[in-house]
Amino acid sequence: MDRMTIGRRVAVTARGFRILGNYCPGLVQGKVFYELIHSLQPFVTVWLSAKIINELSGEQRIRRIAVLVVWVIVINFICAVVKNSIQRVCSEKETQMWGWFGKVFSDKQMSLDFEDLENAKIQRQRQEAEENLFMFGNGLAQLVWGTSGLVKASVDIAASMVMIGPLFFSKSGNPAADHPAWMFAVLFCILLGGLSKSKATIKENRIFMKWCQGTVWFNRTFMFFGRELYVNPERAKDVRIYQQDLIAEKELDKLIRRDRENQGDYFQMAFFPAAATVAVGLANMAGYLLVAVKAYFGAFGVGSIVQYVAVLQRLGDGLQELMFLLSDNQVYCTHLQKLFDYLDLPGHMYQGTLTVEKRDDNEYFVEFRNVSFRYPGAEQYALRHVNFRFKVGGRLAIVGMNGSGKTTFIKLLCRLYDPTEGEILLNGVDIRKYDYEEYMSIFSVVFQDFRLFSFGLGQNVAAGFAYDPERAASCLEKAGFGDRLGSMPQGLDTCLYKDFEKDGVEISGGEAQKIALARALYKSAPFMILDEPTAALDPVAEGEVYSRFDEIVGDKTAVYISHRLSSCRFCDVIAVFDQGQIVQKGSHEQLVADEKGKYFELWHAQAQYYKK
């Protein structure tokens, strides 16, 4: 574990508090206020109790005793009411805290370049930060919990030093008992106990950090083989049919054996804190000895003995807690820094500033000018020297074999990636110069691996919590989902799937595709793109979906990607991809007439399977 400078730790901790303030407002403040009252309350009670005992053993004034008792009752009652109120608020916020921590990662995911989302190194960096936080509370959660400890330690030390002062300065008449060396000896012993606790914590934390580095992967693997593999319906079918549980059990046994090899570290983690506890006990004994000696020689009354014994205990506890927190701060600052390293990953794509022109005549032109693209880390180009121009408002079909570059072409058009070479133009302007968010908003895309959420049907269509019911229902009707919508128990408010609602509705793959099409229609963007979302359907059903969709989009641009050439015959232009290049373009009639072309080869290769 690399050591941080004090200045760096302060900066990291301060940033952690700023994140908590943004995502969990009021939580830290509530913790501070609660712990301030909780920590001061015992000191007030001890001080008043000492006064009562001294009065009982001294002048025994009934009225004064009654007043002191009333004060004890009133103060404790008020503190209990205030603490319970604050604790209820803090408990609710702390329960929500984990959900807000998830949003920290979600917000970063949304700000990352798409290229980085597919980067295995960055994925692992995110997973390690997430798992350390959610599995152990390392980092942000430790900061929340440590806040209470810091307030308690500060109050214990400050209040104890004030209340313990008379112990050292009261005179008993015995020169040996009143010697100033007692004060330094007791404080030194208490400090020594705190330092031993700190050293034990440092040693324990080093072992813990070493264990954490290995256990993150262990727990990820354990959770996958021990839970995900069996309960995920998409995996459970294969697990049962092919008895993959036997493989999983062997993998788990291997992981458990590996974990047992580190059991020697567990003994050290227990030994050092135990040794520190002994040192702390000796420090307390020194303090109790001073109290006993001074009380024996008559320096103070019985009530003061109760006060000083309790306060000495609090002083020792506070110092130990402070030492522990200072040592523990090194640990959660290390984890916070790893989180910040992930949150600080820069974006590489130029965001642009130009506004996308709004034209009433729909005279938009998109041009790929000598575009080549290679995925990060890949040696081969996915696209090579692509030159292509089409007008917005037309129908474009993109066909070709697997791996020919069809989906890559769409990713570049939607600016999920930027070209490695060349440029893409919209009305003669490089698309990189347009405002990124605004440019992305002109596309409605249904990818082949689209996702629906376990929310309401209407929310899935609108891709948001608020939506226009009439518009959502109209889009579902146009997408061919009207009959199914009529049978939904709660209409558009019906929850999809059963992840969160026991009355959720399970939908088929075909129905999910129609909802995804309705989502694209609801957005009503100038570009409507279907990237093989119907690959699981038969050719006739796919052709029906494309034909229906083509009727709906009107004067918008429609781009269709399909393996099945028959589904795209109605398009104005068909672009044929092969090995990362556009090798042909034209109408179906033009392309099928070229017997030497790739389209003719693909067309007849598919047609033979449908001949009687």
pLDDT tens, 408-437?
A: 999 999 898 999 999 999 888 999 999 888
Contacts by residues 147-151 (CB-CB < 8 Å, ≥ 24 positions apart): 147/28, 147/31, 147/32, 147/35, 148/31, 148/34, 148/35, 149/321, 149/324, 149/325, 150/322, 150/325, 151/31, 151/32, 151/35, 151/36, 151/39
- Is the model's pLDDT at 229 over the cut of 80? no
Mean pLDDT on 126-147:
82
In this prediction, residue 180 has a pLDDT band, given cuts at 50, 70 and 90, of confident
pLDDT at 610: 56
- Is the model's pLDDT at 581 over the cut of 90? yes
In this prediction, residue 15 has a pLDDT band, given cuts at 50, 70 and 90, of very high
pLDDT tens per residue, range 534-555: 665 666 666 667 777 777 777 7
Please, what is the average pLDDT of the chain? 81
Residue 593: helix, strand or coil by DSSP?
Answer: coil
Per DSSP, 465 falls in state: S
- Is the model's pLDDT at 37 over the cut of 60? yes
- Sketch out the chain's domains with CATH numbers: 6-343 (1.20.1560.10), 365-442+525-610 (3.40.50.300), 457-517 (no CATH)
| CA dist 562 → 539, 568, 606 (Å) | 10, 8, 13
- Is the model's pLDDT at 362 over the cut of 80? no
Tokens of 260: 């047992």
Q: How far apart are CA 165 and CA 158, in angstroms?
A: 11
- Is the model's pLDDT at 398 over the cut of 60? yes
Residue 425: helix, strand or coil by DSSP?
Answer: strand
User: How far, rounded to the nearest angstrom, does the alpha carbon of residue 132 sit from its chain's CA centroid?
Assistant: 11
Q: How far apart are CA 109 and CA 218, in angstroms?
A: 24
pLDDT at 528: 86
In this prediction, residue 78 has a pLDDT band, given cuts at 50, 70 and 90, of very high
Q: What kind and span of H or E run contains 105?
A: helix 62-111
**pTM above the 0.75 mark?**
no
pLDDT at 267: 58
Q: What kind and span of H or E run contains 475?
A: helix 469-478
DSSP readout, 314-360? HHHHHHHHHHHHHHHHHHHHHHHHHHHHHHTPPP-S----BPPP--T
pLDDT at 330: 79
| CA dist 5 → 10, 12, 330, 351 (Å) | 9, 11, 9, 36
- Is the model's pLDDT at 265 over the cut of 60? no
pLDDT tens per residue, range 143-163: 888 888 889 888 888 888 888
- Is the model's pLDDT at 512 over the cut of 70? yes
pLDDT tens per residue, range 321-350: 787 787 778 778 888 888 999 999 887 777
- Is the model's pLDDT at 9 over the cut of 70? yes
- Is the model's pLDDT at 49 over the cut of 60? yes
pLDDT tens per residue, range 294-317: 777 777 777 777 777 778 778 777
pLDDT at 385: 93
pLDDT at 539: 66
- Is the model's pLDDT at 396 over the cut of 80? yes
pLDDT at 510: 78
Most confident region among 110-114, 153-157, 184-188, 575-579 by mean pLDDT: 575-579
Q: How far apart are CA 166 and CA 299, in angstroms?
A: 10
| CA dist 248 → 214, 218, 243, 254, 443 (Å) | 19, 14, 9, 10, 43
In this prediction, residue 485 has a pLDDT band, given cuts at 50, 70 and 90, of confident
